[in-house]
């Protein structure tokens, strides 16, 4: 078994050739377009990509596999480009209808990324990163190991960044609080394997460098 076995549908011998068709710089340009809609999420996608790569590096060491994880995580929120600004920027609690609309960014992301046929794995991060280990997530309500591994990694990285970033409705949470929330979600919201690796990263970050 090699590091490239981290996901049966992601790593292959032609990774280098595929990655050349869509560079990380091009992806970052797309991300800036999305994040321009909401000043509070500035840098969110890049941080989630970095955290996802760090989490995955607890298991995998192959540079190309880790680079692929980074790129997939980088575009996990691409579907938000189709969500109305008034919802994206709303400072208060969303209505049920607004929440339903914002959840559609996962399927919008799938639709957008399906056009990149040379790298079909990009879809997994965008579509499934809000699925939960207990099956109570969206858009499909899949659970456990039904969730693609890359999406399970992104899910915990995404939650971590959400708690350690300034938002329109609150400031950065203390590191101890963030750790407690991640630990509480292991086995329900988060895959136990990747949730525990996130806890390890938090414990290693004694000076709380991992935040916005």
Alpha-carbon distance of 181 to 37, in angstroms, equals 28
User: DSSP secondary-structure letter at 93?
Assistant: P
Q: Evaluate the omega torsion of the peptide bond into residue 139 and state whether it is cis, within 30 degrees of 0.
A: yes
Q: Quick check: is 80 catalytic?
A: yes
Query: Which two three-digit tokens encode residue 160?
Result: 């971590």
| SS3 at position 197 | helix
Please state the φ and ψ torsions of residue 196, each to the nearest 5 degrees: -70, -35
| SS3 at position 88 | helix
Contact assessment for residue 188 and residue 143, using Cβ atoms and an 8 Å cutoff: no
Candidates 53, 68, 80, 127; catalytic one:
80
Rg (the chain; Cα; Å): 16
Beta bridge partners of 167: 170
Longest dimension (CA), the chain: 48
Residues 6+ apart with CB under 8 A from 170: none
Catalytic positions: 80
């Amino acid at each position: 078994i090699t590091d490239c076995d981290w996901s049966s549908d992601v790593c292959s011998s032609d990774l280098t050739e595929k990655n050349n068709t869509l560079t990380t710089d091009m992806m970052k340009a797309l991300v800036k377009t999305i994040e321009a809609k909401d000043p509070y999420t500035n840098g969110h996608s890049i941080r989630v990509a970095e955290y996802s790569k760090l989490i995955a590096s607890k298991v995998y060491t192959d540079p190309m596999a880790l680079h692929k994880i980074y790129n997939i995580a980088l575009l996990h929120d691409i579907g938000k480009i189709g969500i109305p600004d008034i919802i994206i920027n709303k400072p208060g609690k969303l209505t049920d209808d607004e929440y339903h609309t914002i959840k559609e960014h996962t399927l919008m992301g799938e639709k957008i990324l399906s056009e990149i046929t040379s790298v079909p794995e990009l879809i997994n991060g965008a579509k499934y990163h809000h699925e939960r280990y207990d099956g109570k997530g969206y858009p499909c309500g899949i659970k456990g190991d039904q969730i693609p591994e890359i999406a399970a990694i992104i899910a915990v990285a995404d939650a971590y960044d959400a708690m350690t970033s300034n938002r329109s409705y609150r400031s950065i949470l203390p590191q101890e609080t963030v750790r407690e929330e991640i630990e509480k979600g292991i086995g329900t919201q988060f895959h136990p394997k990747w949730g525990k690796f996130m806890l390890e990263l938090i414990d290693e970050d004694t000076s709380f460098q991992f935040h916005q």
